[in-house]
Amino acid sequence: MPILSKDESQAILKKVLSFSTADECQASLSGRTVGNIRYARNNVSTAGVSDNVSLAVEARFGKRSGVATCNQFDDATLRRCVQRAEEIARLAPEDQEYMPLLGPQQYLTPVSYATSTAAIRPDFRAQAAADSIALSSSKQLTAAGYLEDGAYFQALRNNKGLEAYQQSTGLDFSVTVRTPDGTGSGYAVADFTDATKFNAKNLTQIAADKAAGSRNAKALEPGKYTVILEPAALVSDEGLLNNLVYNFGAREADEGRSFLSKKGGGNRKGDKLFDSRISIYSDPLNAQAPGSVFDGEGLPVKRINWVEKGVVKNLYYSRYWAQKNGVEPTAFAGNFIMEGGTQSTADLIKSTAKGILVTRLWYIRDVDPQTLLYTGLTRDGTFYIENGKIKFPIKNFRFNESPVIMLNNIEAIGRPQRLGGNLVPPLKIRDFTFTSLSDAV
Amino acid sequence: MNRRDFVGLSGLATGALLLPSFPGFGGTLVDPAQLLEQVDPAVKKRLADAALNAAKSAGATYADVRIGRYLNQSIFTREKQVQNIANTESYGAGVRVIANGTWGFSATNVVTEEGLAKAAKLAVEIAKANAKVQKQPVQLAPQRGYGEVSWKTPIQQNAFEVPVKEKAELLLAANAKALENGASFVNSSLFQINEQKYFASTDGSYIDQDIHRIWPTFSATAIDRASGKFRTRDALSSPMGMGYEYMVPKAVDKIAGPSGTGLIGYKNSYDILEDATLAAQQAKAKLTAKSVTAGKYDLVLDPNHLGLTIHESIGHATELDRVLGYEANYAGTSFATLEWKAKNLPYGSKVVNIVADKTQVGSLGAVGYDDEGVKTGQWDIIKEGKLVDYQKIRDQAAIVGQDHSDGCCYAQSWQDVQFQRMANISLKPGTQKMSVDDMIKGVDKGVYIAGRGSFSIDQQRYNFQFGGTVFYAIEKGKIAGMLEDVAYQANTQEFWNSCAATCDQSDYRLFGSFFDGKGQPSQVSAVSHGSATTRFNAVNVINTARKIG
């Protein structure tokens, strides 16, 4: 039973705390049941399921702390786990950045769980793969895709009165469709809390259209171009916007080693660093891209503005750094939302005299943390736009660009879409810097 | 367990209840004393047989089982304090089967005969369900069973036996050296991995292996508050397939870098105190180093830099799963397709000889047998500039008309399915005697680069851009001061065809990638790349300096 209810999990945690003799004790229980299917060359390659539940106990004596974990839940094991955490705590040196455990907290009511997703069985995954493969086979194209779905829970409790519980679900799908001769490639990606919104066929159709349309790409000279970056070009495991948000740490800025460090000392909170149309915030209750209502330490997650009308409004403060600086700590938010308008990507194309449509950016690596300069390449669907229409596919480019510069060169902002648990609009940007050509398809 | 075994566990207090989540280090936190325990191979054989028999009874035509105990210890420090010490263990078993010509996989942490039999049946069930979507049945290259065999990384000192206090104090001593020599901040860490894995298959192999890896590293940052400028210089260590002996410096393992740089190359042992001292000095020097003028330069690349270029532009490009399209949705494919190979075009110049080797002592990829029970070996990938072979596993060999696997199969843990991963891919050193100073003497206008930096390459491995850790101008055959803001952009084939010379065996060293990611869900693997200092002519260098508001 990897997904425990609130009552089941709190009952275990209460028992764990009752075994503790430490000054402070906090216990966390988390579980997941995750399934996946992977296919390539229009064939299923691997598929599997994995379940797990894990308990972590932190015991503290004064400023000394110890952690132990287990994944069996009989009384003897739980008691041993608590004892081990206490034993480790007694031997540990004092933590120079010690913060007392939190007391009772008020949390928002989470909206991050859908029964449809938790109910997924292997035949659902096999059918999704079959639909995707059938569509690409029917067009003499080749699909490679990956579907992963999961149900999760997290429960926290401590001897200072803190109690927290949340369930969540998620489904992630991506597909790359290629022409058999390797001259065309297209990509589609989407993620959902509620699996009923997922349609493998429709997403594969988008990737297939891009693959077929990207055959016989022409080479353009590298240089500065107006670009329309689709959400998959802005957000990924290594995306430019993810990287921007990850670099909002107050400590690094105060220490002088961040793009948000101020010359002479301090940080750039309050400075206008971006175009006035840029607003980025986190909100666990966003219906389209919900997040966690508490973080790993039990701090409540609430809506927080990072950038408002181009001005840096907040930085991320750990509890320690917040106390040192006399400010409120920032709960670690699981998502971010960039505000946008109502235009679709198609609308943005229509209003473009000359420009480039970018489906996806890839292999993005930092080049200079001082300026947040990143490099990477376009991939799986890059097209030249002229007089409001896609004219022809073009060869992929390498870019060298900073999201800070990019968000000052805004031409238009489209309608936000969910991606990677975030909400991100397609962006039209002028003077985006492409530095070389790639023959990769 | 006593106090001296525990330094800075307090660091865990921050986010203590979030289990370690860095790549490949999933698992349960454990007491360090438990890291030295081993499971009896006789017990593992009994468990494995339960899984294999259950799979066969359920209709599998092939089955393998991996019972693994994956141990990690990592120590993180900054300046004068230990931030975190995590000891994690992950123990369980993965069963892989072929039924109705289709793969199925299931993993369990219930390591009992019943638990493994149940996992085996579930794997067969999944295989049969997916067989309905399968068009071509899996064809495995034949593999003989080895019976009961074992293999161990040839270490001199098990890093897990060294007290945590001693290891943490060494990192703090390195931090102190960096701070004394001008660093404003320094972070250091030590990663240690021990894979105790048991493989059994219906081919009749029962293979017990004990694999060790280690990686010390740090990052020293110098800050000029007045200008707001900051620069970092990372360690020039290499992750190795070694024990703690790597952390004990020996003079015989040190190779002087180019005259005028103060750099030292490390072979089979590393001097972290010496490197931290130099790192802080160089981080400070980088603040005022000359910004490079973009243009064409001859590059002289240190092995600790070139390893990553080899990894990205040859290692990944010659993985057969990428070539065939299995990684099209994520890691990508390769320009070096079967059709491209058939054209017999030059991958590189005549001095480019690339060998794949799963047996090299001290390397990260060295194992006795891979994760599908194939004995490892070495083979040529590129000979005198021509691509002659790929890296492959059992279910790929038939697709390219071969009858054997290269032993490249690996899974990051018991709960992940094994698949094709990169072997150690290395550039053979030159046969003519040549030191790095001899090489630089012949360069009129060039850049010398050491250490890994920003690296990015496209999904078919044509276009890449690499930075580095330290850069020096070469003018008229001599080192002429430090440079900054350097990155080179090239095309794989042009770059390797511009390879002019490589130093001799005495300069040969291993570079390592400890957390190389591939697959969906993504798995990490560790791999080494050996080379001697090598020269490439007329490569495009760009200037990466920018201004933001």
Mutate to test the interface with A, among B327, B329, B340 (most CBs of A within 10 A): B329
> Does A372 contact chain B (CB < 8 Å)?
yes
Average pLDDT over residues B150-174: 95
Whether the full predicted model's pTM is greater than 0.80, yes or no, is: yes
Using a CB-CB cut-off of 8 Å, the residues of chain A touching B15 are 296-297
- B31: confidence class by pLDDT, cuts 50, 70, 90: low
**Range with top average pLDDT, A89-93, A396-400, B17-21:** A396-400
Q: What is the pLDDT of residues A144-178, one digit of tens each?
A: 999 999 999 999 999 999 999 999 999 999 999 99
Gap between the Cα atoms of B531 and A356, Å rounded:
41
Residue B6: pLDDT over 80 = no
Average pLDDT over residues A345-363: 98
Average pLDDT over residues B364-374: 98
Which pLDDT belongs to residue A2?
Answer: 75
Average pLDDT over residues B179-188: 98
- Look at B456 and A64 and tell me if their CB atoms are within 8 Å: no
pLDDT over 70 for what percent of chain A?
100
- Look at B548 and A405 and tell me if their CB atoms are within 8 Å: yes
- Look at A40 and B327 and tell me if their CB atoms are within 8 Å: yes
Nearest partner of B157 among B86, B68, B247, B73, judged by Cα:
B247
Q: How far is B433 from chain A (nearest CA, A)?
A: 36
Q: What is the pLDDT of residues A211-220, one digit of tens each?
A: 999 999 999 9
Gap between the Cα atoms of A186 and A360, Å rounded:
9
> Does A69 contact chain B (CB < 8 Å)?
yes
> Does A262 contact chain B (CB < 8 Å)?
yes
Using CA atoms, how far residue A363 sits from A376, A400, B521, in Å, is 5, 12, 17
* Residue B484: closest C-alpha in chain A: A368
Gap between the Cα atoms of A268 and A146, Å rounded:
41
- Look at B458 and A440 and tell me if their CB atoms are within 8 Å: yes
- Look at A297 and B415 and tell me if their CB atoms are within 8 Å: no
B33 residue type, one letter: A
* Higher pLDDT pick, A88 / A308: A308
- B33: confidence class by pLDDT, cuts 50, 70, 90: low
- Look at A129 and B133 and tell me if their CB atoms are within 8 Å: yes
Contact A433, A224 (CB under 8 A): yes
- Look at A71 and B28 and tell me if their CB atoms are within 8 Å: yes
Tokens 């276009």 locate to: B463
Which pLDDT belongs to residue B28?
Answer: 53
Average pLDDT over residues A245-269: 95
> Does B101 contact chain A (CB < 8 Å)?
no
Contact B328, A178 (CB under 8 A): yes
> Does A224 contact chain B (CB < 8 Å)?
no
ipTM of the complex: 0.91
Please name the residues in contact with A165: beta carbons below 8 A apart, sequence gap of 6 or more.
A6, A9, A10, A153, A154, A155, A156
**Domains parsed from chain A with CATH numbers:** 6-210 (3.30.2290.10), 217-240+340-437 (no CATH)
> Does B126 contact chain A (CB < 8 Å)?
yes
User: What end-to-end distance do the CA atoms of chain B give, in Å?
Assistant: 54
Gap between the Cα atoms of A171 and A192, Å rounded:
5
Which pLDDT belongs to residue A47?
Answer: 87
Q: How far is B326 from chain A (nearest CA, A)?
A: 5
Residue B5: pLDDT over 60 = no
> Does A441 contact chain B (CB < 8 Å)?
yes
Q: Which of A133, A264, A405 sits opposite B546 (nearest CB)?
A: A405
Which pLDDT belongs to residue B32?
Answer: 54
Q: What is the pLDDT of residues B92-140, one digit of tens each?
A: 899 999 999 999 999 888 889 999 999 999 999 989 988 888 888 999 9
Q: Which residues of A, range 159-198, sit inside 8 Å of B by Cβ? A: 174-176, 178, 182, 185, 187
Which pLDDT belongs to residue B215?
Answer: 98
Q: What is the pLDDT of residues B480-528, one digit of tens each?
A: 999 999 999 999 999 999 999 999 999 999 999 999 999 999 999 999 9
- Look at A402 and B221 and tell me if their CB atoms are within 8 Å: no
Q: So what CATH class is B3-161+190-213?
A: alpha beta
Using CA atoms, how far residue B199 sits from B104, B145, B370, B403, B526, in Å, is 17, 11, 9, 22, 19
> Does B175 contact chain A (CB < 8 Å)?
no
Q: How far is B271 from chain A (nearest CA, A)?
A: 27
Please report, for chain B, the start and end positions of each structural domain, with discontinuous segments joined by +. 3-161+190-213, 295-543
